[in-house]
């Protein structure tokens, strides 16, 4: 479970190639597998972790505002279209714990002693799992469009019924390209002409269909509610006013159930990827939460 660290299967001996973006002369195996990039040179480290259907390019509007003051670590979650599908272990990534072990592995390989972890969607919960296992590595978490459970339950509104998820999985399986075209504008909260929708469609369609289905099942069937009380690292919960995947009430649920200090900000944005679709609103909010700690 989430309290023990497991080594990724790609921790094997293989040639390490230099990368001009790295601060060290050679790239580690975990770094290479996750396309790790290190930008900037500040004393504090910011780790940017993307959600389902995207890759590290989803942070393109935020990164320029960070690199003058911080060391910024970007990476791709395994299964993103930019990663090697041969590295995707369906058993390992059947739970969010597998991704959390990857995050810990990246931080250890980079010798990061503490970071501000900015996690979008699934990566917000991945950060929570990693912060329970290794709280020393995280000074705080920014959780954007986060949900501990998507399925409705007794006394819990996640936004989805079982038949909704069954239809979602069936659509991915039967015609992935058609599903991408329909899902992207709904998730972003805009039409197909929108640059943000086109960008999300591109990264979504870059995924291998069977891997996309597996990750979607992992995310939408996860239930991380019992984990929340163990998360003692300060959490900044940032949410769109209208989000197809995450109802606003979920951000309040997180706030009430996290074990440590937390704060909620609901933005006037629409969509599940506000950092891509509404950067003018979202970037200043993220910068404020990165720079300012929760007043106790």
Nearest alpha-carbon partner for 14 in 116, 87, 85: 87
Catalytic pick from 272, 277, 278, 289? 272
- Residue 233 gets the label, from left (phi > 0), alpha (psi -120 to 50) or beta, of beta
Catalytic pick from 34, 76, 120, 121? 121
272 included as an active-site residue: yes
243 included as an active-site residue: yes
Distance separating alpha carbons of residues 206 and 218, to the nearest angstrom: 19
> Is 71 in contact with 63 (CB distance < 8 Å)?
no
Distance separating alpha carbons of residues 166 and 160, to the nearest angstrom: 10
Catalytic pick from 145, 243, 251, 278? 243
CA angle 146, 150, 154 (to 5 degrees): 120
Nearest alpha-carbon partner for 205 in 166, 228, 167, 178: 178
User: What number of other Cβ atoms are within 10 A of residue 62's Cβ?
Assistant: 20
Catalytic residues: 121, 243, 272
């Amino acid at each position: 479970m989430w309290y023990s660290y497991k080594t990724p299967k790609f921790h094997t001996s293989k040639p390490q190639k230099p990368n001009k973006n790295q601060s060290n002369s050679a790239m580690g195996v975990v770094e290479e597998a996750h396309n790790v990039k290190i930008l900037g040179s500040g004393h504090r480290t910011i780790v940017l972790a993307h959600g389902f259907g995207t890759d590290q390019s989803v942070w393109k509007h935020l990164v320029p505002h960070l690199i003058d003051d911080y060391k910024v670590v970007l990476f791709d979650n395994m299964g993103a279209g930019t990663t090697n599908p041969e590295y995707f272990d369906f058993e390992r990534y059947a739970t969010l714990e597998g991704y959390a072990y990857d995050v810990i592995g990246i931080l250890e390989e980079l010798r990061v002693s503490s970071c501000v972890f900015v996690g979008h969607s699934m990566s917000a919960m991945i950060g929570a799992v990693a912060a329970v296992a290794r709280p020393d590595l995280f000074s705080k978490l920014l959780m954007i469009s986060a949900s501990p459970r998507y399925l409705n339950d007794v006394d819990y509104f996640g936004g989805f019924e079982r038949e909704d998820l069954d239809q979602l999985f069936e659509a991915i399986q039967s015609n992935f390209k058609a599903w991408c075209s329909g899902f992207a504008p709904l998730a972003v909260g805009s039409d197909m002409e929108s640059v943000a929708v086109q960008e999300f469609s591109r990264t979504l369609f870059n995924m291998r269909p069977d891997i996309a289905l597996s990750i979607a099942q992992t995310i939408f069937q996860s239930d991380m509610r019992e984990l929340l009380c163990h998360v003692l690292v300060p959490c900044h919960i940032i949410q769109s006013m209208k989000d197809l995947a995450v109802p606003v009430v979920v951000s309040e649920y997180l706030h009430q159930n996290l074990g440590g200090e937390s704060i909620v900000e609901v933005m006037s944005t629409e969509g599940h990827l506000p950092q891509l679709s509404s950067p003018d609103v979202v970037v200043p909010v993220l910068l404020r939460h990165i720079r300012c700690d929760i007043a106790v």
